Amino acid sequence: MQDLFSYYKDKRVFITGHTGFKGSWLMACLHLAGAKIKGYALTPEYENGLFDLFKPLQIAETIIADIRDKQKLQKEIESFQPDFIFHLAAQPLVRRSYQVPAETFEINVTGTANLLESASKLKSKCTILVITTDKVYENKEMDVLYKEEDTLGGYDPYSASKACTELVISSFRNSFFNVNKYEQHQKSIASARAGNVIGGGDWNNDRIIPDIIRSLQKNSNIEVRNPGAVRPWQHVLEPLSGYLQLAMLLDSDPLSFSKAYNFGPLPADHLSVKELVEDVIQTWGSGSWKDISDPLQPHEAGLLKLDIGRAKKELQWDPKLSAKEAITWTINWYKQPENKKAGFSFQQIKDYFAL
């Protein structure tokens, strides 16, 4: 923890999407590291999430604005002169992408292009990490581990938009941030593809853990859409530790790390939705669930697994928590009294990086 965190001490870090679930956890990690943080995001879509819990602590300068507003975004980046940019702002939900497909592409694809164009205007050195998703691959619904070189695709608009985002990253890397001309432009860029992330502070609709917690708190049946679907579940701190490690290495050696990396669980540690739900119920201490699968519902992947070999080998990154431990850490967070959750979040970060 000390070596990684000390690297970010006093660094200027610009985070898009810092009001969201993963963005708030990343902001907390960087605050503990002693970084100077500026966040750019929309107002949180739900109350009592991590951003609201952290707000009184004033751990970051916050700009509430849209990633699609290129002039505003460029102004805020240029005024801050960041050493690092972590781009997490997105329309992140598969089912919502069926309702607002064009908007999903606009936010995820054009928003990323806006960010990278803004970064290209900086005169100083800047290291950029764009967070995409495990769903960027052309999913053949087979029991295979997808590698970073596998074909990009996307059945639903969300997945396709993130695959397009990867093409935007590649284009900017070649056209504006070419590693062979690094000494001229001083910009490096990588992308991170993470699996299904769980953890405290997420209240988004159409996400499995928030849906489960709301049902448990109401003593109502947990409604499960795809109990047989297998996903690369992991605690939020797992990929975040990978992002911080990748960005640190990218900053010191752009030639070696300017590419895509998968972050997910170990190959044998992928759970079905049914297994996840039953583990949550066991950890919570009560509850029941029912299958509400509907053949007419929007398509969602039934089987998805990631190969994390590149991150393990090149970044020396490994998952520290099993899927079951990730569930325990998550449920323990939701069990905390409201006034204890912010402090508990910081303690979980310290505990995780001490493993």
Task: Specify the pLDDT at position 78.
Answer: 98
Average pLDDT by stretches of 10, the chain with 355 residues: 88 98 97 98 91 94 98 98 98 92 98 98 97 92 89 94 98 96 97 93 90 94 89 94 98 97 92 93 94 71 83 97 96 96 97 96
pLDDT tens digit sequence for 175-192: 999 999 999 999 999 999
Burial of 194: CB neighbours in 10 Å, binned 0-12, 13-18, 19+: buried
Report which DSSP code applies to 303: B
Place of tokens 């960087």: 30
| Domain extent at residue 179 | 2-199+234-268+305-324
pLDDT of residue 124: 95
In a domain, 45, yes or no: yes
Is 107 part of any domain? yes
Contacts of 89 (CB under 8 A, 6+ apart): 16, 17, 20, 23, 40, 41, 42, 67, 107, 111, 115
> DSSP 3-state assignment of 159?
helix
Could you give the C-alpha distances from 209 to 169, 201, 286, in angstroms and in order? 30, 10, 15
pLDDT, residue 143, reads 80
Q: What local confidence, expressed as pLDDT, does residue 292 receive? A: 87
Q: Buried (b) or exposed (e) across 213-228, using 16+ Cβ within 10 A?
A: bebbeeeeebebbbbe
Q: Do residues 246 and 192 touch, judged by C-beta distance below 8 A?
A: yes
pLDDT for 190: 98
Residue 206 resides in a domain: no
- Give dist(CA 28, CA 20) in Å, integer: 12
Residue 39 is assigned to a structural domain of this protein: yes
Whether 208 is covered by a domain: the verdict is no
Q: Which of 179, 181, 149, 152 is nearest to 164 (CA)?
A: 152
Q: Report which of 303, 326, 313, 276 is spatially closest to residue 145, judged by C-alpha positions.
A: 303
Domain count, the chain: 1
Residue 336, token pair as written in the block:
């905390």
Task: Give the pLDDT score at 2.
Answer: 63
Query: What is the structure's pLDDT at 38?
Result: 98
Q: Return the DSSP state at 43.
A: P
pLDDT given for residue 298 in this prediction:
67
Any domain includes 114? yes
Measured between alpha carbons, how far is 185 from 303 in angstroms, rounded to an integer? 41
Give the CATH number, domain containing residue 187: 3.40.50.720
Nearest-CA neighbor of 251 among 111, 120, 82? Answer: 82
| pLDDT computed for residue 1 by the predictor | 58
Residue 87 in domain: yes
Residue 248 forms part of a structural domain: yes
Question: Looking at residue 241, what is its pLDDT?
Answer: 98
Entry pTM:
0.95
